[in-house]
Structure 1
Amino acid sequence: MVPASNLISSANPLTHALVLQFLESNNYKNTLAEFRKEANEIIENNPKLFDELPSKPLTAIVQDYILEEVRNEVEKLDLVKSKIDDDLYTPETTIYPRYICETFSQIHSSNILTVRTQNILLTNYNDNDFETVSIPMIITGSADKSIKFTSLLTGDIHNVCDVHKGGVLAIDFHPIYTNVMLSASMDGSVALIDSSTMEVKQMFKDHNKSVVRAKFSPDGAMFFTASYDHTLNIYSLGSSSTPTQSLCILPDSSYLIVGIRDSNYLHYVNLQNTKSKPQYFHYFEITKHNMNANGDDWVSFTAMDIIASPNNGGKYLLVATDDENGRIIMFKTFNTTNYDEGVTSSTLIQLANFYDIPSPESSPISSSPSIPVATDFSRKFTNPRLLWHSSGKYFYACGVDAYPRVYSIESKRLVEKLKGHACNNDDSKMCNSESDNDKLSGHSDVVRGMWYDEERDLLITCGFDKSVKIWGSDELCRELMKDLKEGGEQKRILFMRRNTIV
């Protein structure tokens, strides 16, 4: 144990290091020069501390302090009750996709903007008979305006869909009629497409700017589109005027939760309590929930992406922000704080703050100067994305640079950056290496989209390097690589023998 006297004596140099880091990151050049001059003795006496500045910046420490102060002021809201419930994660789960096992770099010649997997039913003519097969596909939307269907197993492109006149920004599939695909484009159009035949069932042109989000409700009764034209559209299968930035639907389809650019509120749209009006329009009850822990209306960040927890009915929300420290906030979805007896405010309870800072106990996390990394200023212009692992114990974040990040819910820290280099040693274990010549390397440009394939426990990523990366856990990664090497060619020949899709 470190003596208390040593900790106290180190507090002064650490405080100076935090201030210096703050002045540097905010480009206060004149003040920084004066500070270095007046604090010269402390800087010279602690070279290691000032050469390797603190991993947690001053602004993050202040944010944590404010959060703790609010917790202490709120009646009955102590650390025990505000901790993340045990049902959020599975403690025994320690394996998650983090090893690169395949790269597809020939699908698109332009930036890949969105990716996901889906089992697609295809009808082929084989041995003088029609045969329907289910093929696991990687579905990608690109800046080249196309949607492509690529076999997850062989890498063969089975189909190309060219229905949009702009880059494809979002893709989703109906939860019940799994062949029905929803796609959204930079040209403002939204399409419903039969993914088995590529037939366009319906085209919507209700937006006049890029449609950045398009999602089905989990029950399949509705779908939602959000656009840079400041509108959120809700379509019933069988409007609003807000500049929507992010949205998510709770697993039971009860609420649509919307984040708005330059707003400190999340807007909850009650999908179960609607009032019908003439011409098939519905009016939804909307409530606002403040994301600021102290309940004020200061806008210090925007909710860039929102996801609900996967294994407890969406009891918790993760919100990615454009904060300069890469701040990601975990909220209770519905619980609000009580500042006055008998009066419930609309301020969401913050359970945890995650920052883009590696955990001290995690393996070293390095970055290459050749990889684009967002600066504090440029975070305002990034499009971060979040993704839960099915266990609920980990989540992924991307959109800042070429490295998908892995965060631990239990430790509330960043535990890994997926560089993706793979190597095989004598015992066939996968590991991360620094070899620039390694074929199975991670992304070389900004990661734009992610998808978690729960059926196969795979992480699928895409980005501005025009490639799709498949990530697996230790053993799964080896099995998939072995299958591709030993059986991939035979399966590719088998598919080649089959006639084109009917």
Structure 2
Amino acid sequence: MPSKAFPLAHSLVLQFLELNKFHKSLNAFREEASEVIIENNEIFSQPPGKNLIDLVDEHLISSMTDELGKLSLQRQIEEELNHPGDENIPRFLYDTFNQIHDSSILSVRTQNLPVTNFLEGENEYAYSDVTAIVSGSADKCIKFTSLLTRDTFNTLQIHKSPVLCVDFHPDYPTLMLSSSMDSTVLVNVHTNETIQTFKEDSKYVVHARFSPDGLMFATAYDHTVNFYKMIPSAVPDTPKSPASPRSPTFNQIDIKYVKVHSMKLTGNVEAFCFLPNNESLVIGVREDNYLHYIDLVNFQDTKYSMNENGDERVSFTPMDISPSPHNNGKYLLVSTDDESGRLILFLTNSDVQIRNFYGAQVNKFSTPRHCWHPSGKYFYVTDDAKGDICIFDVATAKIIARLEGHTSIVKSLWFDVERDLLISCGFDKTIRVWGATDVNPVTSGNVSDAEK
């Protein structure tokens, strides 16, 4: 059925022909549109409120305003992205940990953790902070190794399959979420107590991450994304600071999560990330040309095409997604499995492609990974050809350095902002630590009293 705009459009055309004295066209139009005119006599008995020329002028002005707005936004983006960095970024190999796991290492990150020490003279326990390298492996273990002493001080065997991902709560530094091919587990790594095991995620769980505020987490497997929310009765009145090692929450964390939503997508979920504003989860799906922005309140799916011309063609899969770290996630970086090694920098919450990056080699079996430098001027991305790590300069869209050291595919990257270190791991069963100078402050003794 035609909308109400249909007869109004006829009325505007009729008025235009009358005002401009196109008599032949007017008579022909009246004859051919007679049914519309008769059925909508009330509309045609009086002239429209505006004429066609005014409406076209308004449309042109509106379109021009939109274009000027886009140009202004583009100039702002260009000014921000084209400002060069100082290149004082991790690119030197500081250390190699090659005896932590005896199988491929699939995930790695650092975390400040409290360690209990028994004071024999005072006959009591005390806490001290340790900067731990936390690694998950194909050997089904999660291991905690001191960055300073290289000692592995804790091992968790809570999975029956390779560990694919670990994440820590933003307010409770000992509350860890881990995912594997068999399950998702919430565990207190200070007491090694398993708090919850999530039965719904009984398949190949590729991702599990907390939201930036810690009130939710999401998991992904196959075509499914599950959303979990902290039970209201368990929400603490005052978040505990990670800098409070004597907090009783290290021994007992009274937090539970419950599944609040589950959504099916058209293909396997390969990547997702929370936006820093806690409003959306962005999902990348195989055999799908869209990025899916899922509202964390009503779980509505807003889709933005990854194709510059907006068509439905699927030519690559988003394999890793992360928001820019320096401007509250204004941009979204997407690694793809395109044979060109293509990465795309999007304007967040839009289909606007700001930059494309090429040069890191991938193949159809690749799972490329990237991580930002905190300045937002650079990012690191894996290269499957030799196991290198490429450093891209955002301003020039060029590779400015390659980090050589791994002898096989790199599976995970992590940037330790507090210590300005890049951490990497991979199929060569090693964890490597990269820094910004050719002198390692840890091994050279240039560390603070707190680190000691």
**TM-score normalised by structure 2 residue count:** 0.73
Task: Identify the residue that residue 338 of structure 2 maps to in structure 1.
Answer: 323
Structure 1's 79 and 400: CA in aligned 2 closer, same or farther, altered over 3 A?
Answer: farther
| Alpha-carbon distance between aligned partners in 2 of 1:91 and 1:191, rounded to the nearest angstrom | 42
Matched, 1:162 2:157: yes
Task: Identify the residue that residue 313 of structure 1 maps to in structure 2.
Answer: 328
Task: Identify the residue that residue 178 of structure 1 maps to in structure 2.
Answer: 173
Q: Report the residue type matching 2:427 in the other structure.
A: F
Task: Identify the residue that residue 353 of structure 1 maps to in structure 2.
Answer: 356
CA contact (8 A) 1:82 1:351 kept: no
Please list, as runs of the form range in 1=range in 2, the aligned pairs for 1:268-417 lying within 5 A after superposition: 268-271=293-296, 273-274=297-298, 284-335=299-350, 348-356=351-359, 374=362, 379-398=363-382, 400-401=384-385, 402-417=387-402
Task: Identify the residue that residue 231 of structure 1 maps to in structure 2.
Answer: 224
Task: Give the total of aligned pairs.
Answer: 348
Task: Identify the residue that residue 49 of structure 1 maps to in structure 2.
Answer: none
Map Cα deviations across residues 392-438 of structure 1 (whole Å, 9 max, x no partner).
1000111524101110011111111101xxxxxxxxxxxxxxxxxxx
Q: Report the residue type matching 1:179 in the other structure.
A: T
% identical aligned pairs: 45
Task: Identify the residue that residue 427 of structure 1 maps to in structure 2.
Answer: none
| Alpha-carbon distance between aligned partners in 1 of 2:171 and 2:416, rounded to the nearest angstrom | 17
| Shift in Å, 1:130 | 1.2
Name the SS of the counterpart of 1:122 in structure 2.
Answer: strand
Which residue of 411, 424, 427 corresponds with 1:464? 427
Which residue of 53, 77, 96 corresponds with 1:84? 77
Map Cα deviations across residues 210-265 of structure 1 (whole Å, 9 max, x no partner).
1111100000010011113x110110012111221110111111110000011110
| Alpha-carbon distance between aligned partners in 1 of 2:335 and 2:224, rounded to the nearest angstrom | 21
Which residue of 440, 446, 450 corresponds with 1:478? 440
CA contact (8 A) 1:319 1:330 kept: yes
CA contact (8 A) 1:145 1:168 kept: yes
Q: Which runs of 4+ in 1 moved over 3 A?
A: 74-80, 82-93
Task: Identify the residue that residue 277 of structure 1 maps to in structure 2.
Answer: none
Task: Identify the residue that residue 125 of structure 1 maps to in structure 2.
Answer: 118
Name the SS of the counterpart of 1:220 in structure 2.
Answer: coil
Q: Structure 1: 5+ residue runs without aligned partners?
A: 1-73, 275-283, 336-347, 358-372, 420-441, 492-502
Structure 1's 80 and 267: CA in aligned 2 closer, same or farther, altered over 3 A?
Answer: closer
| Shift in Å, 1:75 | 4.1
Say which one has the larger Rg: 2
Please list, as runs of the form range in 1=range in 2, the aligned pairs for 1:64-75 lying within 5 A after superposition: 75=67
Task: Identify the residue that residue 88 of structure 2 maps to in structure 1.
Answer: 95
Which residue of 96, 103, 108 corresponds with 2:101? 108
Structure 1's 353 and 320: CA in aligned 2 closer, same or farther, altered over 3 A?
Answer: same
| Alpha-carbon distance between aligned partners in 1 of 2:295 and 2:89, rounded to the nearest angstrom | 34
Map Cα deviations across residues 304-338 of structure 1 (whole Å, 9 max, x no partner).
11110001111100111111100000010024xxx
Q: Report the residue type matching 1:237 in the other structure.
A: M
**TM-score normalised by structure 1 residue count:** 0.66
| Shift in Å, 1:480 | 2.4
Map Cα deviations across residues 93-118 of structure 1 (whole Å, 9 max, x no partner).
32111100111100000000000000
Task: Identify the residue that residue 147 of structure 1 maps to in structure 2.
Answer: 142
| Shift in Å, 1:88 | 5.4
RMSD: 2.1
| Alpha-carbon distance between aligned partners in 2 of 1:118 and 1:304, rounded to the nearest angstrom | 25
| Alpha-carbon distance between aligned partners in 1 of 2:151 and 2:82, rounded to the nearest angstrom | 37
Q: Report the residue type matching 2:369 in the other structure.
A: R
Matched, 1:249 2:274: yes
